[in-house]
């Protein structure tokens, strides 16, 4: 499912216009990204939590030839699924 299909599904299930749903989803995603970028954890009970994690600097093999290449330290986004989300996925 892509973003357009998500908007269609939410608009159908809520009876709201696609424009309203698109604005709400975009605002929600922007808020989550902004909070995680600032170092906060966004927790949605039953769904999961989004957080920022730190990756140490390391060396990795270059896909072309396998020579070691340094990879800089960086922050990356992470998602941990909640119990209800895991239960829904495992039941299907």
Please give, one letter per residue, the 3-state secondary structure of 20-79. Answer: HHHHHHHHHHHHHHHHHHCCCCEEECCCEEEEEEEECCEEEECCCCCCEEEECCEEEEEE
**Eight-state DSSP code of residue 80:** E
Structure-token pair, residue 57: 């600097």
Q: How many CA atoms lie within 13 A of 79 on its CB side?
A: 10
Confidence band for 92, pLDDT divided at 50, 70 and 90: confident
Convert the pLDDT of each residue in 8-52 to its tens digit: 999 999 999 999 999 999 999 999 999 999 999 999 999 999 999
C-alpha to C-alpha distance for 51 and 29, rounded to whole angstroms: 13
Residue 44 has what pLDDT? 96
End-to-end CA distance of the chain: 17
Three-state secondary-structure class, residue 82: coil
Convert the pLDDT of each residue in 53-89 to its tens digit: 999 999 999 999 989 999 999 999 999 999 999 999 9
């Amino acid at each position: 499912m892509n973003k357009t299909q998500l908007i269609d599904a939410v608009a159908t299930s809520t009876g709201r216009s696609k424009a309203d749903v698109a604005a709400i989803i975009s605002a929600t995603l922007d808020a989550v990204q902004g909070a995680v970028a600032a170092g906060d954890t966004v927790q949605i009970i039953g769904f999961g939590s989004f957080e920022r994690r730190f990756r140490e600097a390391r060396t990795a093999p270059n896909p072309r030839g396998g020579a070691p290449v340094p990879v800089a330290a960086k922050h990356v986004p992470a998602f941990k699924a909640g119990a209800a989300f895991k239960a829904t996925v495992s039941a299907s």
